[in-house]
Chains A and B, each alone.
Chain A
Amino acid sequence: MRFGSTDTHFQLPNGEILEVPPGSAHYLEHKLFEGREEKVFDRFGRLGAEFNGGTSFRSTNYHFTTTNHYLSCLEVLLDFVQHPEITEERVEKERGIIEQEVRMYADHPGFFGTFLLHQALYHRHGIRIEPGGSVEDVRRIQASELQACFEGFYRPRAMRLALAGDFDPEQILSHLAPLLDAPDLPIAEKIYPLEPSHPAADWLEKPFAVTRPHVWMGWREPYGLANGYARLRQRVLSSLVLDLAFDPASATHEKLYRDGEIDDSFQAYWSSDEDWGHVVVSGVCDDAKTFAKSVADAAAHFVDQGLHEEDFLRLKRAAWGGLVSGLQTPAALANSILNAMLEKVPPFATLDVLGEIEFADVLARAQEMFHPERQAVAVLTPAT
């Protein structure tokens, strides 16, 4: 469903403009599992299926896996995501459960630090806030707000469905049509704050119950590339550059590791959606400032120290193997297809894009990724 945690401000089809608390999309996900007459847990449970949901920044996903009751499970899925019963009593009942979920993450330095980095990188963007919101947010969410979210976004036109398994597609399609509500129901218009193109802060730190400093460094793009092929290509290129720069097969990584500046907690990855994109480099270290300086220097100079086409070709081979291996199970296949649909690219397009990318493309991308003025650092410091 194209409705996620950052979608807190929107105009309903009737013209009314609403702003709901952070965490509303996640709360709504919980409420949908309540079902109407019978809990979704019981309906799937009777069929032996495994099921779950997840709220991310721009979408909320629901999934099941089953070996024997495909059509029945599909009926349950399409029923509960379209026909919830959201009452004050039901919303109140879930509050304690969601509070515990939010508090579970509050002890997780990796989770907490990632969002501290988002706060440093962005001024107003919704990804500054955890998908579940804070405990205080959870305590003020009302049933009427969740109902408005549901009516604004949980419509077939905002829904994407991916299926993988041993079934007859024609049978599935004929079974699907009567399970979907009227497809022409309008959906709400999302309203996003204007986001400046530079980081909100170059350095943020908070005390946390950790033994050594945990550091997250980010370099943001000035703007997003929207969904589609261009963003997919940027994602693949960025990942290849990060591998060239910081993978254990890189000279940079070897030097930092040998000097004791980084350890096995060190990682680098690319994160993006339609209106944001940034590099994250993180690790646990003895001294945050030394770590940040070493990594920033390495990012600034790894291109000058010589990138070789043979390294690039080797990384492409490894990336190919990783992508193929990632499609091992039916669940992984369905997930890959769903993500492609949400990103508005064909399924498995990543493999094609990887094949098309040339060394010169990576060199060009490497030159633009690590601008110092787009850098921010977040640090969790050991609490005394």
Chain B
Amino acid sequence: MAFLQTIPELRQPAPGVELLCLPEPRFKRAQLSLGFEMPMDKKRAARTLLAEVLSQGSASYPSRLKLTQALQDLYGASCSIYADRAAEYHRFSLQLGWVGDRFLPAEEMVQPRLFGLARGLLDQPKRGANGSPFDVETMERERSALLKRVRERKDDRPSYAEERFLAQMCAGEPYGLLAWDSEDALHELSADQLEVARLDLLASAPITAIVVGPCDVDLVETWLADWFSTRGEVRSLPPIQHPPVGKLREFREELPMEQAQFHYGFRYAQPESPRSFEALGLACAILGGGAHGRLFRVVREEKSLAYGIYAMLRARKGLMTVAAGIDAEAYQQVRAEVENQLLDLQQNGPTAEEMEFAIVNRLDRLRALADSGSRLANYHLREHQLGFKRTPAFRAADLQSLSPQEVATAAQSLVADSVYLLAPGKNQNPAAASTPS
């Protein structure tokens, strides 16, 4: 199986709109993702609630029931709208998916019908009575539901631990902010503020779209051109912050729970070249990239301290983070092991076997991109955002020629910033203490 040797065709159908095209007819389902990126500004609360309100229907499909029925009619097509934080930006996303024509009756025209439905959600919302930009009942219901979800997020302990870790490690940076701002901000939103946020998004947000699978890319381009061609100048986004690293910080919080959640964060200066970034990725993989990673072998296999422990790069921001579920009592041991293993990698570089395992695993993943539309889209979107735009074949060539010294040098760029533990409090999770039997 060969490496893919192409990058997506880049089209610019309208001001501030970049479209990455991967028309791959071998896939069964096509997917199109539109990401509207904005600063993590005060309007992000409005955009977050807006996503919820717009998901409930449009002028043409004025209820969630009608909207879902329309999607079912299109052979289970999907259309979702959501808002979250992506790197240091607030991202408002429209995601579409539909089955390729060759699996459908000849007369079906799913793609254009789905596109019409999707545009209507953002362009022609269901309006409220007396000139209100949105239906008040819908808006209040969605506000209430969103507030409940915000309050309940700590029910998912691992996700909550990650959120708290990043919030404290990156306090004062956009990366540490919540996508919805705050409960107070959500409480105070008016329908007019949502409408301002909607118009602002459509008019001035830089948009990155990527389409992959069995689809008509010309139709996608025409659709986007028709929708956004009248835009003026789009907003330029602030650069991502890379503050200097100070003394290692340690955070500990408590909640009733059974298993502690451990996070360790490192910062690195953005690598100067794609090759040095590849070396950094390899260093991360050798440290904690899966079953062949050092931390997995030592912390799990040798010391039985965790079921899993993994390291990952948050590439746009310039962070490497390590995460594991552990016994709170093992905190110092796990922390020391992370530090020791990284120090050893920095000073002595990887072993020949570590290089072999990590490289062959990454090569396999690069080859396997050809089998999955969603993985292929994610790969190329990341490359585009990082400004590298490398083909899988290009990356494979870099990987195969990297030396252990280059990996050690890349590892040396990692500087410890924060270590965090969310630990069981005095009241352990009451049900976990009496597991069903």
Contact = CB atoms under 8 A, between A and B. Distances in A.
Contacts of B148: 212, 263, 284
Contacts of B357: 42, 45-46
B256 interface: yes
Interface in B126-155: 141, 144-145, 148-149, 151-152, 154-155
A48 B1 contact: no
Contacts, number: 191
A90 B254 CA distance: 34
Contacts of A109: 155
A101 B76 contact: no
Interface in A116-146: 116, 119, 128-130, 134-136
B427 to A, nearest CB: 7
A328 B28 contact: yes
A314 B72 contact: yes
A101 B436 contact: no
Interface stretch (B35-43, B166-174, B310-318, B365-373): B365-373
Given A107-B157, A254-B64, A325-B29, A100 B72 contact: no
A328 B372 contact: yes
A210 B154 CA distance: 8
Contacts of A166: 1
Contact of B436 (A39, A116, A324, A327): A116
Interface stretch (B199-207, B219-227, B298-306, B410-418): B298-306
A305 interface: no
B363 interface: yes
Contacts of B349: none
Interface residues of B, number: 69
Which secondary structure dominates chain A's binding surface? Answer: helix
Given A48-B360, A67-B367, A251 B300 contact: no
Nearest to A101: B307
B68 A97 contact: no
B361 A45 contact: yes
B65 A209 contact: no
Given A100-B307, A106-B432, A49 B28 contact: no
A50 B371 CA distance: 14
Nearest to B362: A48
A66 B71 CA distance: 35
Contacts of B367: 67-68
A195 B360 CA distance: 50
A95 B304 contact: yes
Given A100-B326, A250-B65, A317-B75, A284 B152 contact: yes
Contacts of A31: none
B27 interface: yes
B270 to A, nearest CB: 28
A209 B152 contact: no
B325 A248 contact: no
A98 B307 CA distance: 7
A380 B65 contact: no
Interface in B153-209: 154-155, 157-158
A42 B325 CA distance: 23
A330 interface: yes
B71 A318 contact: yes
Contacts of B76: 317-322, 325
Interface in B238-289: 255-259
B6 interface: no
B419 interface: no
A71 interface: no
Contacts of A327: 28
8 contacts: A50-B361, A67-B1, A107-B157, A128-B436, A134-B435, A212-B152, A317-B72, A317-B73
Q: Which 4 pairs show the lowest CB-CB distances between chains A and B?
A: A96-B304, A321-B76, A321-B75, A48-B360
Given A317-B72, A325-B28, 8 more contacts: A45-B292, A45-B357, A68-B364, A95-B304, A97-B304, A166-B1, A260-B141, A383-B431
